[in-house]
Structure 1
Amino acid sequence: MASLTIENLHKSYGSVEVLKGIDIEIEDGGFLVLVGPSGCGKSTLLNTIAGLEDITSGDIRIGDRSVAGLHPSKRDIAMVFQSYALYPNMSVAQNISFGMEIRGIDKASREKAIRDVADMLQIGQLLDRKPSQLSGGQRQRVAMGRALVRDPMVFLFDEPLSNLDAKLRVDMRTEIKRLHQRMGTTIVYVTHDQIEALTLATKIAVLKDGILQQFGTPAEIYNDPSNMFVADFMGSPSMNLIEATVAKNGSDHAIELESADGSSLSLPVNGLASLADYAGRKIVFGIRPEALTDPEGADRNETRVVEQSCLIEVVEPAGSDTFAVTRLGGKEAIARLRADAKIEPNQQARLAFNMAKAVFFDPESTNRIH
């Protein structure tokens, strides 16, 4: 295995710039997830790593070796495609071993490699079947097995679970996580599913319009988003982004926002000196649904929890949680409550705001206020 370094990478098609100065570094054995909406450039970036697309400028290094300009076969990578790309006329065993056969690896070594990956992926009983006789999840395992026998420096996954149903996606996500933990492989994984990104990655790169918006651990991306796009894109339900006004509160500051009944709520903010520059001005207040909850469900160890009365518009039971919709700053805001929280629509209820988890953004630049 090896580290992967991408330096100031640009990719253009004629006059259209698709990737705009991407800088990413993932350690040996890391799991990098490229995430973003359709058309953000994540698959193009993966293809440049694979060598399927030439780069316009910049560099890509696998370990200490620059692979920019190298043919894909010289890069020591293996790729798992969204479509699986299995040979329909070959058995599972033949699909897995075909690449080794082409490279002239002897039959005994091929058969051992097939047995090893079949045991690892639990597909030993499928080795004699053709792809047409397999389910989507089984085909995905075969495609992964074909990549694993290569024992490459870097594995590349291009939205490998997007063709599977919801339950199978969760199961396969667990399998990929388990596989990474067992093998310590370096993986680059493309998805538009931010839950996949948060659960699988050791590092996440969030892309939008060919620009790297933020690069960090799942916890950093989720808890400390660098701008409003990352805050809104990562998380389900997404972060509540509410217009508020900064006001003086003794020696510190508070934010004031309009509630559903037209009254004003005041929430103290402690220790963020940069809010002084926004006194009397509008900002965007960000708070995750789980940091806006019923008082009994709030973090007992946190001293910066503020309770306020809010008009509840909609209640949505969701099994392990109950979601409540209120209106703050003229926008719908979602609170995540305990499953047995006593709450009714069209009534006032006490909600607890965990201000230790709150973040703030400049409404013009959309960047985080630190």
Structure 2
Amino acid sequence: MAFLEIRNLEKTFGNVKVLKGIDLEIEEGGFLVLVGPSGCGKSTLLNSIAGLETTTGGTISIGGKVIDGLHPSQRDIAMVFQSYALYPNMTVGGNIAFGMEIRGVPKPERDKAIAQVAEMLQIGHLLDRKPSQLSGGQRQRVAIGRALVRDPQVFLFDEPLSNLDAKLRVDMRTEIKRLHQRMGTTIVYVTHDQIEAMTLATKIAVLKDGLLQQSGTPAEIYNNPANLFVADFMGSPAMNLIPVTITKNGSGVSISTNRDEMEPLALGIPNAPAGLAAHDGKEVIFGIRPEALTDRDGADRNAKNIAESECLIEVVEPAGSDTFAVTRLGKKQVTARLRADVNVVAGQKTKLAFNLDKAVFFDPANGQRIL
């Protein structure tokens, strides 16, 4: 049963509709990540859950209780902000204890809670310092510690790692995931970083222009994108999206696309989506992830449908554990993810393996997945 439920949520600023009927839910102990480009409405949605924004329509419920009419202090929610929002004149211990002090928690209980949180976040040696004496990662730990001592029903995180450098961001991501596994508290987390979303979430909600594009597990979002926007937004490098022409071939379907200085690429599509045949003679968008387009020996040995074709390589990008090769199909730049030690040279042709088990197709007219 859903623990946090959002039903037909709307938010308007003047004449601008920022949230357009959002429906979402997450089970107790789940980790929901709201992801999307700047201005898509994810922070507004988070602030609406927190009570920092009044909603225009719809409802928000926690544990079966409607909360959207309640003051933020009555919602049993703790929030960690992007800016940390620490009191500069207080010590770390004072910052963590402040909320408990306001609520009249006795000092022995406060001290015990601070000690537990400090041990969990490894900030015990920082309790007497001021925020100005801390690094970005340490300040973020303090902000998280201040939320933890509240022991709320739901934690809200608003892009908490965006101010950190790349390495520290990865480290803190691991810490947040470990913290969630240990505590099992329900978390709603906003980020524009889709790698952060994939690694942290038990459920991802992808937003664009105030509309929910798709929600599901990271695997569902990544492998079965509902539309072109989700396919292109989730994944690094992004999914290859190639315009191809559909041809019915007896009971089967094949796709073809032109290539510069080479004969057209033609691939038979076994187990094609039922709706694909209806596009006979028309153009659709063929989606394939870079890791599903690889060198012959690097192809998934468990895949049932591998097709091979020689491709002209334009650019080679060694990346340590992988090598990325760029070719061109249907006038689109296409990225293949190869093994690190594969022998591939820019300007030469090499045989690439297409894992058609992983192929997805989209209608270019409306951007929706063809099923």
Q: Deviations over 1:127-169 (max 9, x none)?
A: 0000000000000000000000000000000000000000000
**Which whole-Å CA distance do the structure 2 matches of 1:266 and 1:222 have between them?**
25
SS at match of 2:277: helix
SS at match of 1:263: strand
1:82 lines up with 2:82 in the alignment: yes
1:333 lines up with 2:301 in the alignment: no
**Which whole-Å CA distance do the structure 1 matches of 2:183 and 2:294 have between them?**
40
Aligned partner of 2:182 in structure 1 is: 182
SS at match of 1:195: helix
SS at match of 1:253: strand
Contact 1:244 1:284 in 2 (8 A): yes
Gaps of 5+ in 2: none
Aligned partner of 1:126 in structure 2 is: 126
**Which whole-Å CA distance do the structure 2 matches of 1:178 and 1:243 have between them?**
42
Gaps of 5+ in 1: none
**Number of aligned pairs?**
369
**Which whole-Å CA distance do the structure 2 matches of 1:281 and 1:125 have between them?**
66
Kindly report which structure 2 residues correspond to 1:1-370, keeping only aligned pairs within 5 A, or say none. Answer: 3-271=3-271, 272-370=273-371
Contact 1:260 1:326 in 2 (8 A): no
**Which whole-Å CA distance do the structure 2 matches of 1:219 and 1:340 have between them?**
28
Contact 1:30 1:186 in 2 (8 A): yes
Q: What is the CA RMSD across the aligned residues, in angstroms?
A: 0.8
Contact 1:321 1:339 in 2 (8 A): yes
How much identity, in percent, do the aligned residues show? 72
**Which whole-Å CA distance do the structure 1 matches of 2:205 and 2:131 have between them?**
33
Structure 1 residue 260: Cα displacement: 3.5
Contact 1:321 1:336 in 2 (8 A): yes
Q: TM (normalized to structure 2)?
A: 0.99
Q: Deviations over 1:271-316 (max 9, x none)?
A: 2221110011000000000000000000112120000000000000
SS at match of 2:314: strand
SS at match of 1:7: strand
**Which whole-Å CA distance do the structure 2 matches of 1:45 and 1:260 have between them?**
46
**Which whole-Å CA distance do the structure 1 matches of 2:238 and 2:44 have between them?**
26
AA aligned to 2:330 is: G
**Which whole-Å CA distance do the structure 1 matches of 2:260 and 2:298 have between them?**
22
**Which whole-Å CA distance do the structure 1 matches of 2:149 and 2:259 have between them?**
59
Q: TM (normalized to structure 1)?
A: 0.99
**Which whole-Å CA distance do the structure 2 matches of 1:62 and 1:260 have between them?**
56
Structure 1 residue 262: Cα displacement: 4.0
Structure 1 residue 247: Cα displacement: 1.0
**Which whole-Å CA distance do the structure 1 matches of 2:257 and 2:129 have between them?**
62
AA aligned to 2:34 is: L
Structure 1, 262-271 or 24-33: larger mean CA deviation: 262-271
